Every structure is written in C-alpha cells, then in structure tokens.
Amino acid sequence: MSSPSEPAAPGRCVLLVSCQDQPGIVATLSTLVYEGGGNIVDLQQHTDPVNGAFFQRIEFELGHFGLDRAELAARLAPVIERFGMDCQVKYTQDVPRMAILASKEPHCLQDLLARWHLGELPADIRLVISNHPDHAELAGRYGVPYHHRPVDREARGEQEGQVDALLRGAEIDLVVLARYMQILSADFVSGWTGRIINIHHSFLPAFQGARPYHQAHGRGVKLIGVTGHYVTADLDEGPIIDQDVTRVSHRDDVESLRQRGRDLEVIVLARAVRAHLEHRVLIHGNRTVVFAG
C-alpha cells in the first residue's frame, strides 16, 4: 500500500491570512485571485469585534490560474506589506509530509493509518517512530517505514535527538503524537512550533498532567473529554484545535473510562489532524481559528 492521496494536478491554492482589521483586505485579495484567473470555491473571513483581529481563508482553483508560484508570491508581497499581514500560501499539490510518534497503545496510530488508507487524510505519511518495537508490523502493512528508538532513562536527550534527526531527514511538515507518552523538551518543541499535534486525554484545562482518567474518576465527573492541541513548551497549554466529550456515570471505573476515552481520542485526534492538513487552522496567540471544513 502506498499513499492514496495523490491530488489531481493542478489542484487548488489556499491563502491563510491574519492581520489587524482594515478596509479593503477582502477586495484586494479576491481581486488579485480573480485577475490571475483563479476561481474562489471557498472563502471564510472573520473579524474579532473585540481586538479587531482579521482572519481569512481563501481557497481557489488553479485550473485557469495564470500565475506560477513565484509570480503569485511577487503579487502578494506588496499586499502583505501594505496590510502588515501574515499570509501562508498552500498548494494542495504539495501533500504535507507527516510523521506519527507512538508509544505502547496502538489505537490512535492504527486509526490514523486506516483513515489515511481510506483517503481521509491528505498527507504523505513518511514514517512512524516509537519508543517501543510493537507496531512495526502494523506500519509495514501500510507500507510506512517504522523506526524503533527506545528511551534510555539515563540519556533521555539522546533519543530525542535521534527522533529530531529522523524528522528532519524526511523533511517532515507535521508531527502527530498518537499517544506518545514521552515528554518533549522545550528545545525540541521550539524547533517545531505549530507543527506538532497532540491529544490530551482530558477536557483541558480540567485535568492537566498525568493520569487524567484517574483524576476524572476521583472527581466524579459525568462527562469525560479529550483535547486535540498544538504542542508548546508549556505542557497542556498549547492552542486547542478540537475537543469532544462523552457521557459517563458512577458505573464507570477507571478502566471503563479509559475504554470510552479511547473512542474519543481517536476521533478528536483525526479531526485535529485533518483540519491542519486541510489548511483550516490559524494559530493566534494561544488560541486557534478553525475554519469550517
């Protein structure tokens, strides 16, 4: 099996824009696209009434678009300058290269690979890395190279260095932590800002840190939740992409909370990853704007 996600050329282009609100942004950008011959198929724009932050996503078809990448960049440059914008330009032809990091539990890894095989994730999954040897066969089934990098407790940084080298060697665009239970150093994280997605198996910020299902059971909550977020140096504090909950009761012990939680983890992680891969997420400080998919 190899990646089923070969987009048909010439595909589409997505502009992800944020700046301080001012009149003329939508008109300027949509005119630029139109004059280049692009056809806008999806546009979402929102201005925060409180702080005047402006967010926009434009997706347009490249079929009749006359500007190549350099030409589009050249046309965008003065616009970016004029409005003081942050503007990301994404081509659906450039399928993001993705790596999955896993530890012992297989459910999230398994789910991501299965969705990818069904065509649900527009990514090129280049490698799976784990501190356990267990998932080599699983990765192999989907034709994805598997790298076992065990953690030596005496020299934890060494393994992290190996992981970083593997990711850089494969020119990875997105790192997905699929129940990867090793804490990443601030150094590592700062090298991958906005490019690592994790799930915390609680409804953040309700139960931070370790063993959230034990915490949830102890507190007697009636719903448990899962949070998909970008990883930052502040553990459990990164920008939230998606969350979901499921109902529980006094009948659930920790094991059964964990079991119900797995179903949530799988779905929330997949939704967060898909939103990122479809260029629908803008990070704004410690919050995100997630455009509808």
Catalytic residue numbers, as ranges: 236
130 beta partners: 102, 148
Q: How many residues bind its own copies (CB under 8 A)?
A: 72
- Cα→Cα distances 159→54, 144, 151, 192, 231, Å: 41, 20, 6, 16, 19
118 makes contact with its own copies (CB under 8 A): yes
Widest CA span in the chain: 62
- Cα→Cα distances 248→68, 158, 227, 252, 254, Å: 54, 41, 17, 7, 11
The answer to whether the beta carbons of residues 100 and 166 sit under 8 Å apart is no
Tell the smallest beta-carbon distance from residue 149 to its own copies (Å): 24
5 makes contact with its own copies (CB under 8 A): no
214 makes contact with its own copies (CB under 8 A): no
> Which of 240, 220, 215, 219 lies closest to 230, judged by CA?
240
Contacts to its own copies from residues 95-114, by CB under 8 A: 106-107, 110, 114
18 makes contact with its own copies (CB under 8 A): no
Distance CA 196, CA 179 (A): 13
Q: Which residue has the tokens 């006094």?
A: 250
Contacts to its own copies from residues 54-93, by CB under 8 A: 55-56, 64
287 makes contact with its own copies (CB under 8 A): yes
134 makes contact with its own copies (CB under 8 A): no
243 makes contact with its own copies (CB under 8 A): yes
The 148-187 contact track toward its own copies, x by CB under 8 A, reads ----------------------------------------
Contacts to its own copies from residues 32-61, by CB under 8 A: 33-35, 37-50, 55-56
